[in-house]
Each structure stands twice: as C-alpha cells, then as structure tokens.
A and B are shown apart, each in its own frame.
Chain A
C-alpha cells in the first residue's frame, strides 16, 4: 500500500496577518512558513501506519505544488520521515489549479491512499482533496478523524454532525482528514534531518490549467469594541448586560 500525503506551505498559525499597503496581497515579511497543520497530522498518521508491519504500507510520499521557495517545507516533511517527495513547480493559484496538478501527477505515479488536510490554514477552502478525487474519478471521504488498515482493508471514521460513522472503501481513494487522525504531529529527529538531505524530490513541470478564481482584495475584520469589564464580585451585572444590552440570553 502506498500513501501520498499532500502538503501545503502556510504561514505559522501564530502569525499576525498584515496586509500590503494596497490590500491586494498579504505582507509576507518576517513570516515563518510551516507545513499546514492538518497536512502535518496526515503525514504523522501515514508514518504511523508505515511503522506498523500489519498495515502493509511500503511507501509514504509527500506532494506539494509550489516554487522552489517552498523546498524547506518539503525537506521538513522528509526530515519527519516521508520517504520521498514530489513538487510541481508552479505558484499555487487556486484549489482547482493545485488539484489539477496533483491529479496530473497521479496519472503518472500510482498511490493507493491520497491524504489531504481538511483545509489549509491560509485559504480555508476544504476543496483540494475533493477536486483531486473528482478529476481522477475515484471515491473520496471527508472529515476523516481515524484511518486504520485491517487485513489490507482501510477502516475509516468520519465525523458527521453530532456523531461518527465507521466505513470502508476500496483503494484508491482520497481521504480528507481532520483533527483526531493523529494525536500530536511527529517531530523531526536529528537523524531524520540528516537523511532528509539525501532524499529525492521529483520535480514536475505544471500542466496547463486556468485557475477559476482570483483574490482581488484582502480586508481585515473590523476591530471589536473595547471589552467592558465587570467586577468579579458582581457577576449578576454580566447577566443583566447579556440580557438587556447584548440581548443574547
């Protein structure tokens, strides 16, 4: 069983987002770039499965659409333990464009399970995984919080409103994963960092696809009004305000 983990390169989640003066781009000065948190969890789960001989996973590859500037993020994934990597050499224009690139790679290289994070922490789209599956005509499952392989059969738990469903499906498929898939993201060991340098990154040139969306302007949410403080000795005052001022209770 071979697993492909799609990774996105995003600003560290503690970043205070600033806009450029004209509002047309994000000011990237000083931003630390990291593996998208959900992608990092999928990678961790893929590696856990590979560590378990009963699961029968032989290869974990990471795939990324981005220019050479995102290679440090790919190297980090290799240091964490991915066997090798694929990079499609293009600016990720939108989810449709990115998914088309990954799907094109999957026409050439075969994987059984394709893992995508449920969203990227920058564009919050939840689209790439589902689009890849549709391009390839293979099934997909979203909101996946657990993935096991039992007797060669994938067993998946997906979250539904107010509950969970356990299901199985034949490979190949795309699993769009969320919290719960792995407990904590795996951290690169010193040995991992050393070996990552010699691992292969296969670079593909992009296929011609026109993105279907374009961001024309960014905006920051309106700042909230200053906090109104209430004495800890008189919480009844808070309840009064919530009832009569905010009118929410």
Chain B
C-alpha cells in the first residue's frame, strides 16, 4: 500500500510546490498507516530527487524515456496509473495546477477512483474518506466523501505548510517505452517567460486595477514588486484594456493565486476578482474609495490616491532594504 504523489519537475528541478505536495501526502500516508512514493517524469539528477525525501517521501520514482519531453495527457496518464497499480497506491495526489488538471481526471478513470479537486485540507476522516475542497471559487468549501477504494486528490497551491523531516529516500529509475504513434500531441513551438518571478509561484504579488488610471502609471508598482522580490498582476479591466498582458490577469476567469502577501492597488474588489485572490494569506488594499469591497477582504488598508501612496511605499521599502 502507498500514497502516490505526482511531483512535476521544471527542467529537472523541483520547487516549493513540489515540497508542499510531498509534505501533504506524507501527512495523509500517516493517517492511513503507509508511506509516500513520489513520482516524477523526465530527467532529474539523484541529488534533486533526494530532496523529496526530506519532506517525507520513502521512495522517489523517476520515469524517463523518449517522447516524454512534453506533456501528453494520455501517455502521462498511463505512466502514473501504471505506477499507482504497481505501488498499490490507495491515494494519488496531484497539484491543482495546469498539469494536475490535465492528468488527474484520466488517472482517476483508469483506477476507477473518485476525485476531490481543489482540496485545501487533510481528510477529516479516512473512513468514510471525507475531505474539504474549494467550491464557488472560494466563497464556500464542500466536505466531500470519496466512495471508491482508490482516491485521487488535487491540492490547491499554498494550502498546506511544508514540513521537513530528515529521511533518506530510496531512488528508483524507470525507463518507459512509448510505442511510436502513441503520442498524439505534437508540440510545434514553445514560448517561455524568463527571468521574472512567475505569478503562480510568487510569495508577494503587487496588483493594479483601473484606479491606476493609465498604463503609463505602472512604474512605481513594478518597482515595488521588484523591491519585494514579487510578481506583478492586474485586474480584468486592466488586461481587457490591454494596459497589461493577459498573463497578469488574476481573478475568477484569470489566474487564481494564493501568495503570502497580495497588494491590491486601485482595485475595487468585485466578487470575480476576489475569487482569484481570496486564498492569499494577507491582503493589502490601497484605494481612493473607502467603501470599496476590497477593504472587506483586506487586513490592511490605505484610503488614498494610488499615485501618491505608491511612491511613498517604494521609498519605505527602499529604506527597509538598506
């Protein structure tokens, strides 16, 4: 028996998200008296694989092979379901990120497993298996019972505290043969954002809304984000107007993020915007309208003109960093 966690790697490296997933899986494994097997697909060095042991993985399986460079939902699904069968996994854990969303459903069907997607807590009971998940874009949580013998979970990012435990994981390398013609998706081109903190990884996010008044006013906002080592984001009207790139849109239909600190500048806080940011640990709102709904979601607020407040904030952070 085991808990299997799919830990994606990014060019052979793991990140905070991976350690969160393994820590979470280790806690579930303890609840059902078993161990965690972590699975990654693609070329990863031993040293990097060993890191997953420090968060509770007993065994780390690294699957490599031709045709595995890009995510092909069918191929990845068959690998993960195959390993789950071999490891007799009762719970399979994914991240609720792009790749988790792409693969978890297929793996669940293969294993005849029910899925609780976007979970944000450990199971409240293992018999029946009951777990809390996000519904209504964070406006409510649903305690969901999974009735099947095998359970598939996808964990919301930044919803579980990373726990380090000294542990030496066994490493197993598996060569996976993909028959020619099995790979259906043919990747023609890849565009990667480089050098910037990814919005979905950022611990601190500084975000601008219509209250920024013009795309020309973003200078101090970007500077604040850089000084704090964070990423920049924006509200939907701003990306719709083309003031900022679409990749920055946070909100219900855009990116859903959960940083430690979200600073909303000139964002009124419509329900749809809050749906994308409400899981942030701390929210700071800067808005000229004291009745803006963003202040109901925020722990810290400044009522004032963003154009006047931002430069002062930049100054204060510069002082701090000296």
Q: What residues of chain A have their CB less than 8 Å away from a CB belonging to chain B?
A: 11, 13-17, 19, 26, 37-38, 41, 94-96, 99, 118, 121-131, 133-135, 139-143, 155, 158-170, 173, 176, 178-180, 210-221, 224-225, 227-232, 235-236, 238-239, 241-243, 246, 248-249
Q: Are A216 and B144 in contact (CB under 8 A)?
A: yes
Q: Which residues of B contact A227 (CB under 8 A)?
A: 285, 295-296, 298-301
Is B33 interfacial (CB-CB < 8 Å)? no
Instruction: Point out the residues of chain A lying under 8 angstroms from B184, CB to CB.
Output: 139, 169-170, 173
- The reply to whether the CB of B167 lies closer than 8 angstroms to some CB of chain A is no
Bound Cα distance A170, B74 (Å): 13
Q: State A220–B135 Cα separation when bound (angstroms).
A: 10
Minimum CB–CB distance for A112 against chain B, Å:
14
**Residue contacts A-B, CB under 8 angstroms, 20 given:** A13-B272, A19-B140, A124-B137, A127-B104, A127-B105, A140-B74, A143-B102, A155-B188, A161-B200, A168-B185, A212-B114, A218-B142, A221-B139, A221-B140, A230-B301, A238-B300, A238-B313, A248-B261, A248-B282, A249-B317
Which residues of B are interface residues toward A (Cβ below 8 A)? 10, 70-74, 77, 96-99, 101-106, 108-110, 112-118, 130, 132-148, 154, 184-193, 198, 200-201, 203-204, 228, 246, 249, 252-254, 260-261, 270-272, 275, 278, 281-285, 295-305, 308-309, 312-313, 315-317, 319-320
- Set of chain B residues within 8 Å of A235, measured between Cβ atoms: 302, 309, 312-313, 316
Assess the A133–B313 pair: CB atoms within 8 A.
no
| Shortest CB distance B39–A (Å) | 18
Measured CB to CB, the closest approach of chain B to A78, in angstroms, equals 23
CB atoms of A228 and B272 under 8 A apart: no
User: Is the beta-carbon distance between B132 and A142 smaller than 8 angstroms?
Assistant: no
Question: With A and B bound together, what is the CA distance between A46 and B97 in angstroms?
Answer: 25
Count: A-B pairs, CB below 8 Å? 277
Residue in A41, A134, A143 whose CB lies within 8 Å of B105 = A134
Majority DSSP secondary structure for residues of B touching A: mixed
Distance in angstroms between the alpha carbons of A220 and B95 in the assembled complex? 23
Known: A123-B135, A126-B117, A214-B144. 17 other contacts (CB 8 A): A14-B271, A37-B252, A38-B253, A122-B136, A124-B134, A131-B106, A134-B109, A140-B74, A161-B98, A215-B143, A220-B139, A221-B140, A235-B309, A235-B313, A236-B312, A246-B281, A248-B261
| Neighbouring B residues of A169 by C-beta, 8 Å | 184-186
Name the prevailing secondary structure of the A interface residues: mixed
